[in-house]
């Protein structure tokens, strides 16, 4: 399968996913900074995002990857109010294997309200429409909220990678969920 461009925007019932813009760096950094302690529990990149320049660098890199087909990063926004809720993206893309992985995080105020489930479902549909055969979601075995999303959306738990990552100085397991192209 050849690399194909990801859309710049994906719409769902209550959420809109938009390709990151440099003009949004200040807001994104402020949101990460205000929710830093909660986010860093399962997201190791949070500790490396210490300044506005770190966020600008991330956005520039994500835009390059988006444009080249090496990845796709989106801000998650409330469709009605336009309020930023978190990020979602496609990474670990293997175009020749027609496989990719989704990742996501949401700010505390929007957790547990179904926004991420809706966003994952919309992004997954976009991936399948681009020709991917397999979409994966990986998360810490300790992150029950994150693992609930693929379970809710009918992903198969393909396995547990035992002690394959270090989080805050301790080994942890990773759950690997997969979904195949709908028949």
Please answer whether residues 20 and 59 qualify as being in contact, where contact means their C-beta atoms are separated by less than 8 angstroms.
Answer: yes
Q: How far apart are the first and last CA of the chain?
A: 18
Please answer whether residues 84 and 31 qualify as being in contact, where contact means their C-beta atoms are separated by less than 8 angstroms.
Answer: yes
Q: How is the chain split into domains, by residue range?
A: 9-180
Residue 2: pLDDT above 90? no
> Residue by residue, what is the 3-state secondary structure of 115-132?
HHHHHHHHHHHHHHHCCC
**pLDDT for position 169:** 86
CATH of domain 9-180: 3.40.630.30
The percentage of the chain sitting over the pLDDT mark of 90, rounded to a whole number, equals 81
Residue 171: pLDDT above 90? yes
**pLDDT for position 123:** 98
CA distance readout (Å), 70 to 14, 28, 73, 105: 27, 22, 10, 20
Q: What six digits make up the tokens of 119?
A: 């966003």
Q: What six digits make up the tokens of 46?
A: 């949070």
What is the pTM assigned to this prediction? Answer: 0.92
Taking only the tens place, the pLDDT of each residue in 125-167 is 999 999 999 999 999 999 999 999 999 999 999 999 999 988 8
């Amino acid at each position: 399968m050849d690399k194909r461009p990801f859309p710049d925007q994906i719409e769902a019932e209550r959420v809109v996913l938009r390709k990151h813009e440099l003009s949004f760096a200040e807001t994104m950094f402020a949101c990460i900074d205000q929710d830093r302690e909660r986010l860093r529990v399962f997201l190791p990149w949070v500790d490396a995002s210490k300044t506005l320049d770190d966020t600008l660098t991330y956005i520039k890199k994500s835009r390059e990857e988006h444009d080249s087909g090496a990845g796709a990063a989106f801000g998650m926004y409330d469709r009605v109010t336009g309020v930023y809720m978190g990020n979602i993206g496609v990474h670990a893309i293997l175009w020749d294997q027609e496989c990719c992985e989704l990742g996501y995080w949401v700010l505390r105020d929007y957790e547990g309200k179904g926004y991420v489930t809706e966003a994952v479902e919309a992004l997954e549909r976009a991936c399948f429409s681009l020709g991917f055969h397999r979409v994966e979601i990986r998360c810490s075995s300790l992150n029950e909220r994150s693992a609930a999303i693929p379970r809710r959306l009918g992903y198969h738990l393909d396995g547990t990678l035992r002690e394959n990552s270090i989080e805050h100085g301790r080994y942890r397991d990773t759950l690997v969920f997969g979904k195949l192209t709908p028949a």
